[in-house]
Structures are given as structure tokens and as C-alpha cells.
């Protein structure tokens, strides 16, 4: 039998190594929410995945108390769904509770994709959205509407802007 060509020997060796690596005895454990959050903080991918998912939900109907694409979303339902769906990160369910989530407060000038933006009056927070870059955020604003993309410099949102948090 003639010797195997070099590329074929390399491919066969790599295939053998891959098979052996798959036979390792270390059990794998699914990541916990804490692990996912820790990994997310040091990586730009989670922010991008949150942004892309949020943008993909634009047009979904608004529904008070809604938290799935099938049922529709309210503002906090949209936020909690996107972070759970993309990162398996469990966040509180209301905009007020989300505003109290541990994480650095971010000035409007330092916003980054995936940051949570909050709106309200005085000390009361009553609305939340996901910042997606270029001065825009995705949110579920009101009954009869849909999830939409809005600009932070819109006079209404500027007037009610109450801050931002980075949870990634």
C-alpha cells in the first residue's frame, strides 16, 4: 500500500485528536446566572447580542405585563426577556426594581450598547429601555403601540430621562 499523502495524514491526526478530546472524563456544568454575568462584564459580545435581539423585536405589540414575543411586551418585560434570552441573565421584573440593580450608573455621554436607560419624574422611575448606540434606545412605550426605536434627544424622552445603568 502506498504511503498516505501528508495532507491526508494531518487530517487523520486532527480527527483522531478531536475524537480523543471528546472522550474526556470531566463533566461539564451549565453556567449559572452569576457566572454568565461575570463573563458578560468582560466581553463585548453580550452587549452586541442584547442589542441585536432588542432591535429584532421592534414591531412586537405592546401589552401591559407582557414578557414574550408571542404575548407582547411592556417595557420591563422587554428588558428582562432580552437579557434572559440572550445571556441567561435574570433581572428584576419592574422598571423601578431594574433601576436599583447593582451596577455602575452611566452618564448619558458614556452610554454603550446594552446599557439600561431609565425615565421618570423626580425620584420615581416608571420606564426602561435598552440603549443600542448612536443616541437611540429600544423600548415598549405604551398601550396600543409596539416595541420601537427612539432617540434619546427626543424632547419627551430628554425631559423624562432619569439615568442609565450598565449591567453587563
The confidence score (pLDDT) of residue 143 equals 86
Task: Assess whether 75 carries a catalytic annotation.
Answer: yes
92-112 pLDDT, tens digit per residue, is 999 999 999 999 999 999 999
Which band of pLDDT confidence, cut at 50, 70 and 90, is reported for residue 7?
very low
- Enumerate domains of the chain plus CATH numbers: 33-165 (3.90.1720.10)
* Catalytic hit among 127, 136, 165, 166: 127
Catalytic residue among 36, 54, 57, 75: 75
Q: How many residues does the chain have?
A: 168
- Cβ atoms 138, 57 nearer than 8 A: yes
Tell me the pLDDT band of 43, cut-offs 50, 70 and 90: low
139 carries an active-site annotation = yes
* 63-83: pLDDT as tens digits: 999 999 999 999 999 999 999
In 7-96, which ranges are E strands?
Answer: 67-68, 72-73
* CA geometry: angle 87, 72, 154, nearest 5 deg: 85
Amino acid at each position: 500500500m502506498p504511503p498516505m499523502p501528508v495532507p491526508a495524514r494531518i487530517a487523520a491526526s486532527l480527527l483522531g485528536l478531536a475524537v480523543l478530546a471528546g472522550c474526556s472524563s470531566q463533566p461539564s456544568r451549565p453556567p449559572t446566572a452569576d457566572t454568565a454575568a461575570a463573563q458578560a462584564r468582560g466581553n463585548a459580545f453580550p452587549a452586541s447580542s442584547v442589542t441585536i435581539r432588542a432591535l429584532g423585536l421592534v414591531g412586537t405589540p405592546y401589552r401591559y405585563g407582557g414578557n414574550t414575543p408571542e404575548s407582547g411586551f411592556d417595557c420591563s418585560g422587554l428588558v428582562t426577556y432580552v437579557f434572559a434570552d440572550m445571556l441567561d441573565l435574570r433581572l428584576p421584573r419592574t422598571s423601578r426594581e431594574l433601576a436599583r440593580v447593582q451596577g455602575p450608573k452611566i452618564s448619558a455621554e458614556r452610554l454603550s450598547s446594552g446599557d439600561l436607560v431609565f425615565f421618570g419624574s423626580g425620584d420615581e422611575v416608571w420606564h426602561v429601555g435598552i440603549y443600542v448606540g448612536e443616541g437611540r434606545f429600544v423600548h415598549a412605550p405604551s398601550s396600543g403601540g409596539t416595541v420601537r426605536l427612539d432617540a434619546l434627544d427626543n424632547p419627551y424622552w430628554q425631559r423624562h430621562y432619569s439615568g442609565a445603568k450598565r449591567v453587563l
